[in-house]
Amino acid sequence: MTLLLAVVSFGINAQTTTSLDGKKFKIEAWDETKSDLKTPEELIFKNGMVDAPICHEYGFFASRYKATDEDGVIKFTFVNESEYEGELIFEGYVDGKTVNGTYTWKKEGRDDLKYQFQGKLN
């Protein structure tokens, strides 16, 4: 009985829901096919939402995010939808003061655009 409780309590890959609220990251993003062209951006986490202000011109505004802590590395995901420009699907992770990840821009009528990003806590 004790061994079973230990496995259930600690799990193999313990994940706990967490928050990135109050954190702002300066990032650089690039199209996976053009890694030499990097665009400076920000990811701002506040009140359970994440915002990338550079995306406002395309109708993408703050959206809810989910974050889990796996052994000190925070993994996060969110989907940002625009009425006219489709959706951005983000997946990333925060390790200490650095952030890395990918996002895909899906829009009807064209191939998906895939991006990578990396940055630091601001």
What pLDDT does residue 15 have?
A: 79
What pLDDT does residue 8 have?
A: 44
Residue 16's CB is within 10 A of a number of other CB atoms, namely 10
| Positions in the chain whose pLDDT score sits under 50 | 1-11
Rg (C-alpha) for the chain, rounded Å, is 17
For the chain, which domains are there? 14-121 (2.40.128)
CA distances from 97 to 52, 100, 119 (A): 18, 10, 9
pTM of the predicted protein model: 0.85
What pLDDT does residue 36 have?
A: 87
